[in-house]
Amino acid sequence: MQQTTIARSVEWRGLGLHSGRPARVTVLPAAPDTGLVFRTPCEGGTGDVLIPARAEHVHSTTRATTLAARANGESTAARRGAPPVSSAQTSPAAARVATVEHLLAALFALGIHNAEIEVEGGEVPVLDGSAAPFVTRLRRAGIRPLAAARRELEVRMAFEVGDADRWIRVEPGDGLSIEYAIEFAHPVIGRQRFVLEDLDGDRFERELAAARTFGFADEVERLRAQGLAQGGDLSNTLVLGEGGLLNEGPLRWPDEFVRHKVVDLLGDLALIGSELHARITVEKGGHGLHHALVRALVERPGLLAERAPLAELGRLRAFAQPG
């Protein structure tokens, strides 16, 4: 199977959920083996910094996933007209890109392996709080195959991260399947469970993409005092008060809350940098626990292995059959 990129560039504008400032993100085509790479202005305006969407660039998981240039200069800096992403020069310039998970979930679910993602304003715009606006325009832009084989990884052994109350269990599997459960002491949520069997772009768009981010009214002042949720409002966040849901209109699904958690998980799994074959079970997850999983997958020897192409698997199975 081939790698892919976006067929033409596509743009979104809005507010940053946490910064409250205007933000713009543009997804552009990229060459094979580029991966998903964010481009954002350097502090001081001396060029742009390139931040690969990889686990080692995670800076924060507080209420969102934030990526940052590595302090040791492993991220790349480039100017307009500089060499392409794959050959730009290294730079220690500091830069961060916040709230990347909804866009990354859309790219991951649609099977878009290579893209340059330009961000202005330091944060991907929240839009309506879901991944649906990203899916709609990415599909409208089109997906183009590239002349390079795609990389697929598979989980080779079962393992867990977390503790007795909040945990993730991962097992070998064909395709990517997820069972996710959440539990909140609020009557609108309670305990919810969602099962996703064998992720693909159509299923993601139909069952998950439109699920919105959510929060609690009694947390707003504390979050804003921490510099978070400055752009959050009822147009982009499901807000739960003591008496129920504060938003007008119905939920998009009765279990919209757990569906959004699955979207967040997919966006965080995109930081592995490859398609993934696994069965994942989550109990009371969040970005911090998701990234404990991702770090384990990429750092622990023997958990992941390259998956052989289908043609090679067929030859191996035929060889293994008795004559």
pLDDT of residue 310: 53
3-state class percentages of the chain: helix first, strand second, coil last, to nearest 5: 25, 35, 40
Instruction: Residue 25: name the closest of 38, 36, 34, 35 by CA.
Output: 38
Neighbours of 304 (CB within 10 A): 22
Q: How confident is the model at residue 88 (pLDDT cuts 50, 70, 90)?
A: very low
- CA distance linking residue 162 with residue 98, whole number of Å: 24
For 47: left if phi > 0, alpha if psi spans -120 to 50, otherwise beta; the answer is: left
| Predicted local distance difference test score (pLDDT) of residue 309 | 67
Are 23 and 16 within 8 A, CB to CB?
Answer: yes
Q: How many residues does this entry show for the chain? A: 323
Q: Is 216 exposed, middle or buried (0-12, 13-18, 19+ CB in 10 A)?
A: middle
Q: Within the chain, which residue ranges are assigned CATH 3.30.230.20?
A: 2-150
CB 31 within 8 A of CB 65: no
Among the listed residues 18, 57, 113, 287, the single catalytic one is 287
**Can 287 be counted among the known catalytic residues?**
yes
The pLDDT > 90 percentage for the chain reads 79
Encoded tokens for 173: 């599997």
Residue 91 clears pLDDT 60, i.e. is over it: no
Which stretches of the chain are DSSP H helices?
101-110, 132-141, 201-207, 220-225, 256-269, 287-299, 310-320
Q: Which of 5-9, 51-55, 76-80 has the lowest mean pLDDT?
A: 76-80
pLDDT of 314: 46
Is the pLDDT at 230 greater than 60? The verdict is yes
What is the rounded distance in angstroms from the CA atom of residue 273 to the CA atom of residue 280? Answer: 17
Angle between helices 132-141 and 101-110 (to 10 degrees): 40
CATH 3.90.1150.10 describes domain 153-306: no
Tokens standing for 262?
Answer: 């699955």
For residue 301, report the phi and psi dihedrals to the nearest 5 degrees: -60, 140
DSSP state, residue 61: -
Q: What is the mean pLDDT of the chain?
A: 89
Report the pLDDT averaged over residues 49-54.
96
- Asked if residue 93 has pLDDT above 80, the reply is no
pLDDT > 80? residue 295: yes
Residue type, 315: R
Sheet holding 48-52, edge to edge: 10-15, 22-28, 115-120, 36-41, 48-52, 76-78
Q: What is the mean pLDDT of residues 123-136?
A: 98
Task: Give me the half-sphere count of Cα atoms (radius 13 Å) on the Cβ side of residue 3.
Answer: 20
What confidence score (pLDDT) does residue 45 get?
64
Fold observed for domain 2-150: Ribosomal Protein S5; domain 2 (3.30.230)
